[in-house]
Amino acid sequence: MSFEKRYCTTVCCIDGKIVPSVIHFVKEYFQSEYVDVITEAGPAGILSDHPDSVAAEQIYSRVELSLEKHESVGLAMVAHGRCLGNPKKDTVQLDDLRTSRDELKLRFPDTDIILLWVPSDETPVLVD
Ligand SMILES: [Zn+2]
């Protein structure tokens, strides 16, 4: 089955302050009509600190569902300033983002994965 409208995927914090701007950004970036939004409180902290945990496996299984069943064209891993779920300094959170990408790449090596950081002004920026 092929979807007429393209999906992309994001693993994002539950924080409702950032979700709308993340959806807007990734729809533009991946030229997608729809975004599958997988939320956890501070997901980059989960994937970097506890990559083999039940919480991490639940993220992976939902990513897999989105990638396979919706033929998602890409994945955005997101972190943001003043995160209650991953309350670390910004620089440490950015390291967590990169570690999360490494973990996701192990499981989904063929997927286009981008990293997004959402600072206090709520405008997402790409992270290398
Ligand atoms: Zn958060």
pLDDT over 70 at 53, yes or no: yes
How far does the centroid of ligand 1 lie from the alpha carbon of residue 119, in Å? 11
- Residue 107: CATH number of its domain: 3.40.1050.10
How far does the centroid of ligand 1 lie from the alpha carbon of residue 3, in Å? 31
Q: What are phi and psi of 113, to 5 degrees?
A: -115, 125
Rounded to 10 deg, the angle between the 54-69 and 90-107 helix axes is: 60
d(CA 102, CA 106): 6
| Residue 75, in any domain of the structure | yes
Angle CA 50–21–44, to nearest 5 = 5
| Residue 67, in any domain of the structure | yes
Instruction: Map tokens 């970097």 to a residue.
Output: 48
How far does the centroid of ligand 1 lie from the alpha carbon of residue 60, in Å? 18
Rg (CA), the chain: 13
Query: Domain range spanning residue 90?
Result: 7-127
SS3 category, 40: strand
How far does the centroid of ligand 1 lie from the alpha carbon of residue 2, in Å? 33
Alpha helices in 50-126 (DSSP H): 54-69, 90-107
| Residue 22, in any domain of the structure | yes
d(CA 71, CA 30): 13
How far does the centroid of ligand 1 lie from the alpha carbon of residue 22, in Å? 13
How far does the centroid of ligand 1 lie from the alpha carbon of residue 72, in Å? 24
pLDDT tens by residue, 76-127: 999 999 999 999 999 999 999 999 999 999 999 999 999 999 998 789 999 9
pLDDT tens by residue, 3-33: 667 999 999 999 999 999 999 999 999 999 9
| Residue 43, in any domain of the structure | yes
* Whole-number pLDDT of residue 124: 97
Q: How confident is the model at residue 2 (pLDDT cuts 50, 70, 90)?
A: low
* Whole-number pLDDT of residue 1: 55
Neighbours of ion ligand 1 (CB under 5 A): 13, 15, 83, 85
Number of domains present in the structure of the chain: 1
Q: How confident is the model at residue 39 (pLDDT cuts 50, 70, 90)?
A: very high
| Residue 1, in any domain of the structure | no
| Residue 100, in any domain of the structure | yes
Angle CA 47–98–70, to nearest 5 = 65
How far does the centroid of ligand 1 lie from the alpha carbon of residue 25, in Å? 17
Beta strands, E only, the chain:
7-13, 34-40, 75-80, 113-118, 125-127
How far does the centroid of ligand 1 lie from the alpha carbon of residue 80, in Å? 6
| Residue 2, in any domain of the structure | no
